[in-house]
């Protein structure tokens, strides 16, 4: 065998070997791909609540109870600022007869005026205070002051249709005298009714930041 024949035979051997390797590797890849698990994606979840935060206070709309909060304000879990109770005192000029809790007829117009304020401002609540002059025993005057306060509260509820949950009454006897001179005129002044109107208002206290400045500085 000459050199040319030997080289031809060697070349043929290399070609056959290469084809065999390629076929084997292709079968391996096909087999491997056939064993790969098929991934099934879950169905998209429907969003039930509004998760947006339109006023950027950190509370989602699904829980928001106070819209348009000032940016940077202290808030509770419902996006509301601090609630502060405010009270305004109104002296109702109702003069009672001595030892009596009967509301004088001329006082009805004044009670009606108070009822008008309450109807116009639904967020208001009222506490009726009863007071007496410093004549007689302490316990007797305490009960008398309570009866006077309840009498006025009853007229607000029953005659002027102010809901009962907005009206309370309390008696102070002669603990809070308006006039301590002890004259007949002072006794008449002390037999009185006071109405305390209360309401809640929102105050936006701001969160502390590195740019906050103490008021004392």
> What's the pLDDT at 13?
45
Residue 27: enclosing H or E segment and its boundaries? Answer: helix 3-34
Q: How far is CA 94 from CA 54, 107, 113, in A?
A: 51, 6, 13
Q: How far is CA 123 from CA 71, 92, 201, in A?
A: 26, 20, 10
Q: How far is CA 116 from CA 102, 137, 201, in A?
A: 22, 36, 21
Tens-place pLDDT, residues 89-110: 887 878 888 899 999 999 999 9
Tens-place pLDDT, residues 132-176: 999 999 999 999 999 999 999 999 999 999 999 999 999 999 999
Same domain, 28 and 121: no
State the residue range of the domain holding 140: 82-203
The domain tally of the chain equals 2
Residue 126 lies in a domain: yes
CATH number at 107 reads 3.30.1330.60
Same domain, 153 and 101: yes
Q: In whole angstroms, what separates CA 194 from the centre of its chain?
A: 30
Residue 208 lies in a domain: no
Neighbours of 69 (CB within 10 A): 20
Same domain, 110 and 193: yes
Domain boundary, last residue among 40, 55, 70: 40
Percent of the chain whose pLDDT exceeds 90: 41
Residue 198 lies in a domain: yes
Rounded to two decimals, the pTM is 0.57
| Alpha helix ranges (H) inside 40-191 | 108-120, 138-158, 184-190
């Amino acid at each position: 065998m000459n050199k040319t024949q030997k080289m031809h035979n060697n070349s043929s051997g290399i070609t056959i070997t290469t084809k065999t390797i390629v076929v084997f590797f292709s079968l391996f890849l096909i087999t491997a791909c056939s064993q790969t698990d098929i991934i099934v994606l879950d169905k998209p979840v429907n969003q039930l609540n509004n998760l947006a935060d339109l006023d950027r206070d950190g509370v989602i709309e699904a829980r928001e109870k106070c819209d348009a909060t000032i940016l940077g304000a202290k808030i509770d879990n419902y996006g509301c600022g601090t609630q502060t109770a405010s009270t305004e005192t109104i002296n109702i000029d109702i003069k009672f007869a001595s030892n009596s809790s009967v509301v004088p007829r001329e006082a009805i117009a004044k009670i009606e005026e108070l009822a008008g304020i309450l109807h116009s401002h639904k967020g208001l609540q009222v506490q009726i205070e009863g007071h007496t002059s410093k004549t007689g025993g302490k316990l007797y005057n305490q009960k008398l002051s309570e009866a006077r306060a309840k009498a006025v509260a009853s007229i607000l509820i029953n005659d002027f249709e102010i809901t009962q949950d907005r009206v309370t009454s309390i008696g102070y006897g002669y603990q809070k005298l308006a006039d301590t001179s002890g004259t007949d005129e002072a006794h008449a002044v002390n037999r009185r009714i006071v109405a305390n109107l209360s309401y809640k208002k929102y105050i936006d206290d701001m969160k502390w930041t590195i740019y906050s400045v103490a008021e004392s500085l």
